Chains A and B, each alone.
Chain A
Amino acid sequence: MLPGIEKINPDLSLLTPQLIVLGLSLLLLLIDAVVPRWRGAVMAYLTLIGYAAALVATFFMFDMNESTFYGMIRADDFSAFVNVIVLVAGILSVLVSINYMTSRAEPGSMPVPEYYALISFSILGAMIVGAAGDLVIVFLGIEMSSLAVYALTGFARHRITSLEGALKYFLLGLFASAILLYGMAWTYGATGTTNLSEIAAELANYDTSGNIEASLLLAVLLLIVGLGFKVAAVPFHMWTPDAYQGAPTPVSAYMSVIPKAAGFAAMVRLLVQALEPLADEWTIIIAILAVVTMFFGNIVAIAQTDIKRMLAYSSIGHTGYMLAAVAAYGASASIDDDLSVTSLLFYLLAYAFMNIGAFAIVTWLQDRGRGVDLSDFRGLASQSPVAALMMTVFLLSLTGLPPLVGFYAKYYVILATVDAGMIWLAVAIVLASAASAFYYLRVIATMYFAEAEQPEPVGSTPWLGAGLLAMVAGTILVGIFSGRVFDLAQGWVDALTIIPG
């Protein structure tokens, strides 16, 4: 019996933000074909307007708990918050991209119109994952989000490293998708349904006191492996450094946040919502993955001198912290107090500001003809004090230093892990953070303490400047005023634990 079967007509209003982005994506393709002279700037403006409109629409979607399309699509606080993360990150990424697309940073030219359309489709995919109520929709969204990013990674088509990164990402990504799909098949086989809530209901009837069925355990493992690829967890991270390094920098910024957000949204939908009765089994797996990931990422990052590669490993490290948030699920005395997913959502939002910010400064330098090596940052503080200060803010926030947003994010994750009785996980987080200080600090030290060697970076990038201002403001203020954001994120409790129908 499908829930909501009585609703013959799907309630499209529940999909307003997604429909806006879909309309935007199609419009962008159309413009490219019909009005060629609007290519470039006009498309960027349209994209920004579209995302902003979707964001506004999203704010009317909070405090809802409904489903449509026979339970396949859900409109709840979780999906709304995922929309916020994805759209904010999307707006910031576009702001970072506009000037870069026309700068001399990449050899040859890049196909600008497709760029915005692909980003929009990818964002739409991530939003669909957030709203998924069914295994099929989760997969659909994940694939939609990933496929566009494979193409975006290879966008600097005259640069061989870009193509190499894209190919690696593509092949490994497909492999991961297959594994994910296989895991879904096993889940379906064991429970007889693809609806997430029904899977949970089905599993709740099982006697979980003894050994769980091997088929279910296999399903859990396959799902975790598949999602591990998508969020770049160790040991499924192989594609990350090459893809981040090879992609045009704004794309690196983009893919460090949005596919990751999609991956984590899928993880929450699949593990926390559907496989909730098996939480005892998967939390420990995720916790171990988290520790391995955070240490591997942060320690290998120390050895990098290419900033984009360093940020790639740093991003793996942050995946570890976010996995820790997921692992903290299910141990609270009462589900209303469970901070695990709350801290994950907050972390993703915080991460969007600070990490896209760090990539944005790299873009800023590239727009001015510099490279992406650590030595390109030498003496930046004396040449462009504002850019250096902004980079410092982003990096300190990534380190987790108060009062910046990264600290609040990490604090909430630690709060969740200690609540779950995993003090060792909390200690791992702080030790990994201390290790991460090495390489973040080295960039700051290079900017402030080293003598400048290259000519002063000059250029005009108004859009990037606006984006940077927004990100610095976000990095400083979102943490201090995190009370309201935190409340919104806490809404996941109602969204994921009430089985509709």
Chain B
Amino acid sequence: MDSLPILSMITYAPLVGAAILFFASRADAEMSRRIALAFATISFLLSLAMLIAFDVNEPGMQFTEHIEWLPGVGVNYDFGVDGVSALLVVLTTLLSLIGVIASGSITHRRREYYITLLLLETGMIGVFFALDLFLFYIFWELMLVPMALLIGVWGSANRVYAAVKFFIYTLAASLLMLVGIVAVYWENINQGNDPTLNILDLAAVQYSDDFQFWVFLAFFIAFAVKVPMWPFHTWLPDAHVEAPTVGSVILAGVLLKMGGYGMIRFNLSLTPDAAEDLAPYIIALSVIGIIYGALVALVQPDMKKLVAYSSVSHMGFVTLGIFAFNMQGFYGAMLVMLSHGFVTGGLFLCVGVLYDRAHTRLISAFGGVVSRMPVYAALFGVLMLASLGLPGLSGFVGEFLAIVGAFTEHRWAGAIGMAVVILSAWYMMWLFQRVVLGRAAGEPPDPLDGALQSGSVPAVAGGQGVADHGDEWPVDEHGVPQWPDVTRLELIAIVPLVLLSIMLGVWPGPFMDVMRTTLESILVPFGSQGV
């Protein structure tokens, strides 16, 4: 197909923006913001155009691009998109655009901030488009540095520790994947085929069981760290808590999805037999993650940490659905990924809104926010309900399907997964109760709170990236600061996510149409039935 290389255009538009910003050393903060906004918008619109032109009845790769690159070692520049990656790319470009919009509270090194954000976007999109394992690995690692910088430079108090932990953890895991990639490369050659690293060609080869086992593990651990699956999740709470708001949004909204995407794209297609053999163990880990994440989320005093642990729980449904190997499970996994992108992205933005006003994220520092910020309360409420899986909102559809999928294969896993949804209702509604509802304005914060009595609350986390507004807000007669409701910019950032979450909940059909044929084709080796 000799048409416009639309996939490359989507991928590199942010890179061009970053390059322009890099050389425009005299651009002030506002100018940098506009340039970043322009290129993030271009990338988003192009990806929408790609989605509109996408043929939902075609199971294979579309808009493919092929350029010979390093023929000596079988590496080519191969791009393509199918039903699995199409929606995730649009999610990426959307969240990146929202990320640029929501970056108003960043006050220092703003030009560098937007460069980092745009580089990150290029890396993320490339991961979803790359069909060559080598190319995939390049984009996979390319995301690492900007994300670590985002946490380390613009994060809050303990940011350096979190950035380094995030970097080392994911680097170590993905390096093992590199060995897996090389092993597949040689095994393919040993079977008498031409040297290639194209995932479609490599997937067509039948590998021995023993080989599949090791390659499966090499890839799986890299992806499990990204998801993150219990017990590979320990980097996540640190990274989330220390990251700036937008960092958290992108981390939760996109980076975590790469784990699930990688498993579907690589583990299932390269090593189907090993995937089937190991599925029970992975299901068990998923269920542990679902329960563990929910239980730990219950006791978090920090809003961001709570949402972070809820991510561990939600992402457990993704792996649960994938390794059920049926259509319901696959739909469930994909829809949970999308829904989690909208909802958790939105929740982090909501936490960010409060943080920008109060400079703390401790739940105990808030209460009765609804009386001062009614619009905010409504948005937060919808996202909260979507997260806990209220029917009619996005969280329900995905988790329901994932559980149904798991239930048909592993009854116990489905049953436990279902029961844990109660826990998620508990921690989310409790969060909402304490922060948004709870005590009325003027009442002092929870008098029973031990940390408060010892005088350690509210400790203002003095992140460099956030200006300390001090006592900029007027206070009423009770000494309660009169925070303004969500600003126009905050509204523009949050509302699309709320709307998408409602749409995915009420009318998931269009989303499922995009992925149907591709998911069916992925299921073929597993000999399972459709919906």
* The residue from B142, B164, B176 contacting A430, defined by CB atoms under 8 A apart: B176
B168 x A448 contact (CB < 8 A): no
B141 touching A486, Cβ below 8 Å: no
Binds A, one of B65-73, B98-106, B386-394: B65-73
Name the A residues within 8 Å of B141 (CB-CB): 401-402, 407
Contacts between chains A and B (CB distance < 8 A), count: 82
Task: Give the Cβ gap from A478 to chain B, nearest Cβ, in Å.
Answer: 12
At the interface, yes or no: A433 with Cβ under 8 Å from chain B? yes
A403 and B175 contact, Cβ closer than 8 Å, known pairs A412-B73, A418-B183, A483-B69: no
**Are A445 and B164 closer than 8 Å at their CB atoms?**
yes
Q: Which residues of B contact A448 (CB under 8 A)?
A: 149, 152-153
Residue of A nearest to B184 (CB): A418
- The answer to whether B73 and A486 touch across the interface, beta carbons within 8 angstroms, is yes
Interface centre among A382, A401, A402 (most CB of B within 10 A): A402
B370 at the interface (CB under 8 A from A): no
Residue of chain B at shortest CB distance from A382: B109
Contact (Cβ within 8 A) B183 A423: yes
A493 partner residues in chain B, CB cutoff 8 A: none
CB pair B152 A396 closer than 8 Å:
no
CB pair B179–A426 under 8 Å, yes or no, is yes
Q: In the assembled complex, how far is the CB of residue B194 from the closest CB belonging to chain A, in whole angstroms?
A: 13
Judging by beta carbons under 8 Å apart, are B175 and A430 in contact?
yes
Question: If A449-B163, A487-B72, A490-B72 touch, does A437 touch B182 (CB 8 Å cutoff)?
Answer: no
A5 within 8 A of B: no
Task: Give the docked Cα–Cα distance between A434 and B225 (Å).
Answer: 15
Cα separation A434 to B152 with both chains bound (whole Å): 19
- Is A482 interfacial (CB 8 A cutoff)? yes
List residues of B (133-188) whose CB comes within 8 Å of A's CBs: 134, 137-138, 141-142, 144-145, 149, 152-153, 159-160, 163-164, 167-168, 171-172, 175-176, 178-179, 182-183, 185-186
Q: Does B112 belong to the interface (CB within 8 Å)?
A: yes
Q: Are A434 and B179 in contact (CB under 8 A)?
A: no
Known interface pairs A396-B145, A411-B178, A418-B179. Does A403 touch B138 (Cβ–Cβ under 8 Å)? yes
Specify the main secondary structure of chain A where it touches its partner: helix
Q: Is A77 an interface residue (CB 8 A)?
A: no
Chain A: residues with Cβ within 8 Å of the partner, total of: 33
Which of A396, A433, A434, A482 counts the most B-chain CB atoms under 10 A from its CB? A434
Within 8 Å of chain B (Cβ to Cβ): is A441? yes
**Docked CA distance A441–B167 (Å):** 9
| Binary interface encoding of chain B residues 328-371 relative to chain A, with 1 for a CB under 8 A from any of its CBs, else 0 | 00000000000000000000000000000000000000000000
Give B72's nearest chain A residue, CB to CB.
A486
Are A445 and B163 in contact (CB-based, < 8 A)?
Answer: yes
CB-CB < 8 A to B175: which residues of A?
430-431, 433-434
Instruction: Tell me if B71 and A434 are in contact (CB < 8 A).
Output: no
Tell me the complex Cα distance, A490–B179, Å: 22
Contact B142 A426 (CB under 8 A): no
B185 and A445 contact, CB distance less than 8 A: no
Min C-beta distance of B171 to chain A, whole Å: 5
Would B168 and A437 count as touching, CB distance under 8 A? Answer: yes
Within the assembled complex, what's the spacing in Å between the Cα atoms of A486 and B195?
A: 15
Beyond A449-B163, A486-B73, whether A402 also contacts B142 by CB under 8 A is: yes
In the complex, whether A427 has a CB less than 8 A from a CB of chain B is yes
Q: Answer whether residue A459 sits at the interface, using C-beta atoms and an 8 A cutoff.
A: no
Given contacts A433-B175, A434-B175, A448-B153, contact A441 B183 (CB under 8 A): no
Tell me the bound Cα distance from A449 to B156 in angstroms. Answer: 11
Q: Is the pair A483, B70 in contact by a Cβ cutoff of 8 Å?
A: yes
B168:A438 contact, CB within 8 angstroms: yes
Q: Is the CB of A323 closer than 8 A to any CB of chain B?
A: no
* Given known A-B contacts A434-B168, A437-B168, A445-B160, A427 and B149 have beta carbons under 8 A apart: no
Q: Decide yes or no whether A414 CB sits under 8 A from chain B.
A: yes
Q: How far is the CB of A453 from chain B (nearest CB, A)?
A: 16
* Residues of the B chain whose Cβ atoms lie less than 8 Å from the Cβ of A399: 171
Shortest beta-carbon distance from B41 to chain A in Å: 26
Taking CB atoms, residues of chain B closer than 8 Å to A486 are: 70, 72-73
Q: Which residues of A contact B112 (CB under 8 A)?
A: 385
Contacts of B172 in A (CB 8 A): 431, 434, 437
Interface residues of B in 46-77 (CB under 8 A from A): 69-73
Q: Is there an interface contact between B185 and A415, defined as CB atoms closer than 8 Å?
A: yes
A445: nearest chain-B partner, CB-CB: B160
Is B164 within 8 A of A419, CB to CB?
A: no
A437-B186 in contact given A401-B145, A449-B152, A483-B69 (Cβ < 8 Å): no
A326 to B484, CA, bound (A): 67
**Minimal Cβ-Cβ distance residue in B for A408:** B70
- On chain B, the residues within 8 Å of A411 by CB distance are 134, 178, 182
Q: Which residue of B lies closest to A402 (CB)?
A: B138
Chain A residues within an 8 Å CB radius of B183: 418, 423
Chain B residues 109 to 147 lying within 8 A of chain A, measured CB to CB, are 109, 112, 134, 137-138, 141-142, 144-145
Question: For B73, what are the chain A residues with a Cβ–Cβ distance below 8 Å?
Answer: 412, 415, 486
A328 to chain B, nearest CB (A): 12
With A411-B178, A426-B179 as given contacts, are A441 and B168 in contact (CB-CB < 8 Å)? yes
Residue contact B168 to A483, C-beta cutoff 8 Å: no
Q: How far in angstroms is the closest Cβ of chain A from B494?
A: 30
B79 to chain A, nearest CB (A): 15
Whether A430 pairs with B178 at a CB distance below 8 angstroms is: yes
CA distance A270 to B171 in the complex (A): 37
Asked whether B186 lies within 8 Å of A418 as measured between CB atoms, the reply is yes
Contacts of A412 in B (CB 8 A): 73
A465-485 toward B: CB 8 Å interface, digit per residue (1/0)? 000000000000000001100
CB distance from A96 to the nearest CB of B (A): 25
Chain A positions within 8 Å of B182 at CB level: 411, 414-415, 418, 426
Shortest Cβ distance from B25 into A: residue: A385
Task: Give the residue of B71, B109, B176 whose beta carbon is less than 8 angstroms from that of A483.
Answer: B71
Q: Which one, B144, B152, B171, B176, contacts A427 given CB within 8 A?
A: B176
How distant is the Cα of A313 from the Cα of B423 in the complex, in angstroms? 51
Complex: how many Å from CA A412 to CA B186? 12
Question: Could you tell me the distance between the alpha carbons of A418 and B181 in the complex, rounded to whole angstroms?
Answer: 10
Rounded to whole Å, the gap between the CB of B19 and the closest CB of chain A is 12
Q: Quote the shortest CB–CB distance from A496 to chain B (angstroms).
A: 18
Closest chain B residue, CB of each to CB of A386: B25
Q: Please name all residues of chain B whose beta carbon is closer than 8 Å to the beta carbon of A402 when the two chains form the complex.
A: 137-138, 141-142
Contact with B along A413-453 (1 / 0, CB 8 A): 01100110001001100110110011001100100110000
Q: What residue of chain A has the Cβ atom nearest to residue B185's Cβ? A: A415
Q: How far is the CA of A433 from the CA of B174 in the complex (A)?
A: 11
Q: Is the CB of A449 within 8 A of B153?
A: yes
Distance between B107 CB and nearest chain A CB, rounded to angstroms: 14
**Chain B neighbourhood of A415, CB < 8 A:** 73, 182, 185-186
Contact B163 A401 (CB under 8 A): no
A349 to chain B, nearest CB (A): 15
Residues of B within 8 A of A414 (CB): 178-179, 182
Q: Using Cβ atoms and an 8 Å threshold, which residues of chain A touch B163?
A: 445, 449
CA–CA, A407 and B134, complex, Å: 11
In the bound complex, CA of A412 to CA of B178 (Å): 11
Task: Give every chain A residue within 8 A of B159 (Cβ-Cβ).
Answer: 449
Q: Which residues of A contact B109 (CB under 8 A)?
A: 382
The answer to whether A419 touches B186 (Cβ under 8 A) is yes
Residues of A within 8 A of B178 (CB): 411, 414, 430
Query: How far, in angstroms, from A445 to B71 measured CA to CA in the complex?
Result: 37
A287 to chain B, nearest CB (A): 16
* Distance from B247 Cβ to chain A, minimum over Cβ atoms (Å): 14
Residues of chain B contacted by A418 (CB below 8 angstroms)? 179, 182-183, 185-186
A241 to chain B, nearest CB (A): 24
Q: List 9 A-B contacts (CB under 8 A).
A: A401-B144, A418-B182, A418-B186, A427-B176, A434-B171, A441-B167, A449-B159, A483-B72, A486-B70
19 further A-B contacts with Cβ under 8 Å, apart from A407-B141, A418-B183, A441-B168, are A396-B145, A401-B171, A402-B142, A414-B178, A415-B185, A418-B186, A423-B183, A426-B182, A427-B179, A430-B176, A434-B172, A434-B175, A441-B167, A448-B152, A449-B152, A449-B163, A486-B72, A486-B73, A487-B72
The 3 nearest A-B residue pairs measured at CB: A430-B175, A402-B138, A434-B172
